């Protein structure tokens, strides 16, 4: 079946989204055009407005309409600690958990050579500049415990090696609170044993 040129263009645009195959893209396009043109119009104008106004926070790379995002603009936070995360959702999770009152740096991804994502795509030059500007004494790397997250963490720790007086750590990985050891997957258990903490 062939679609009209503009319908086809919409389908191909939707296919550019992560995890969207041809069938899903066709389904979404037909839904927007056939069933719900109000939603389609709202989506189009929200997308247009966001593209025009949303940029990256100058300090942490969070998406924001201002120069600085609310977290970076908050003067009550500890400027000596910087936590590196992969995504804005990670910032939300850490904020929800409490216990960290420092600053953030958001990579907006992780190293993924197969997908062509290298250090330059993660703003690592910006991170180095921020560390070189001084004032930060502890860097906490909170990338995900995946192969790509590990590679990213290793790359960053290597990269900032020359920053004098900087403590670099990575968040611990292991068994979740309330978890049962025999039900934990091998990779997690391996990591838990690797990053065991001394009790005596």
Partner 1 sequence: MPLFQKLDVDFRGQGASHQMRSWVPSGPIHHLQEHRLYFGLYLNELITRLWPLQGNSVALFGLYSSTLTLISKQHQERAALRYFERTLLAELGFALEFKQSLDGRAIVPEGHYRHCVGTGFERSPVVPNAISGEHLIAIDRNEWHLAGALHHARGIFSREIDLHLEGQTLHTRTLLRQVMDRATGDLGAKT
Q: Which residues bind partner 1 (CB under 8 A)?
A: 111, 113-114, 116-119, 146-148, 150-151, 154-155, 158-159, 161-162, 185-187, 190
Q: How many residues bind Zn ion, per CB under 5 A?
A: 6
Q: Which residue of 11, 29, 62, 84 would you call a contact of Zn ion, by CB under 5 A?
A: 62
DSSP string, 5-72: HHHHHHHHHHHTSTT--HHHHHHHHHIIIII-HHHHHHHHHHHHHHHHH-EE-TTT--EESSSS-HHH
User: Shortest distance, CB of residue 8 to partner 1, whole angstroms?
Assistant: 19
Q: Which residue of 59, 110, 130, 170 would you call a contact of Zn ion, by CB under 5 A?
A: 59
Q: Which is closer to partner 1, CB of 32 or CB of 142?
A: 142
User: Shortest distance, CB of residue 65 to Zn ion, whole angstroms?
Assistant: 12
- 83 is a site residue for Zn ion (CB under 5 A): no
Q: Which is closer to partner 1, CB of 102 or CB of 109?
A: 109
User: Shortest distance, CB of residue 60 to Zn ion, whole angstroms?
Assistant: 3
The Cα 130–Cα 156 span in angstroms is 13
- 69 is a site residue for Zn ion (CB under 5 A): yes
- 57 is a site residue for Zn ion (CB under 5 A): yes
The 3-state DSSP class for residue 41 equals: helix
User: Shortest distance, CB of residue 105 to Zn ion, whole angstroms?
Assistant: 8
Please give the helix or strand (H or E) that residue 46 lies within, else none: helix 37-53
The 3-state DSSP class for residue 168 equals: strand
- 85 is a site residue for Zn ion (CB under 5 A): no
Stretch that binds Zn ion, among 3-11, 55-63, 132-140, 144-152 (CB under 5 A): 55-63
Q: Which does 69 bind (CB under 5 to 8 A by kind): Zn ion, partner 1, none?
A: Zn ion
The 3-state DSSP class for residue 103 equals: strand
DSSP string, 107-150: -SS--BGGGTB-GGGGTHHHHHHHHHTS---EEEEE--SSHHHH
Torsions phi, psi for 36 (to 5 deg): -140, 75
């Amino acid at each position: 079946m062939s679609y009209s040129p503009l319908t086809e263009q919409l389908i191909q645009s939707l296919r550019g989204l992560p995890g969207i195959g041809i069938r899903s893209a066709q389904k979404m396009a037909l839904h927007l055009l056939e069933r719900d043109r109000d939603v389609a119009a709202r989506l189009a104008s929200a997308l247009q407005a966001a593209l025009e106004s949303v940029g990256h926070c100058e300090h942490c790379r969070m998406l924001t309409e201002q120069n600085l995002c609310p977290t970076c603009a908050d003067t009550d936070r500890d400027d000596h600690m910087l936590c590196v995360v992969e995504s804005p959702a990670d910032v939300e999770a850490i904020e929800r958990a409490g216990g960290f009152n420092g600053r953030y740096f958001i990579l907006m991804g992780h190293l993924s050579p197969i997908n062509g994502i290298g250090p330059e795509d993660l703003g690592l030059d910006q991170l180095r500049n921020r560390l070189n500007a001084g004032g930060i004494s502890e860097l906490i790397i909170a990338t995900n415990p995946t192969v790509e997250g590990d590679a990213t963490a290793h790359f960053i720790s290597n990269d900032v090696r020359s920053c004098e007086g900087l403590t670099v750590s990575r968040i611990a990985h292991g068994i979740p609170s309330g978890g049962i050891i025999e039900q934990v997957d091998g990779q997690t258990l391996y990591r838990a044993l690797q990053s065991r903490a001394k009790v005596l």
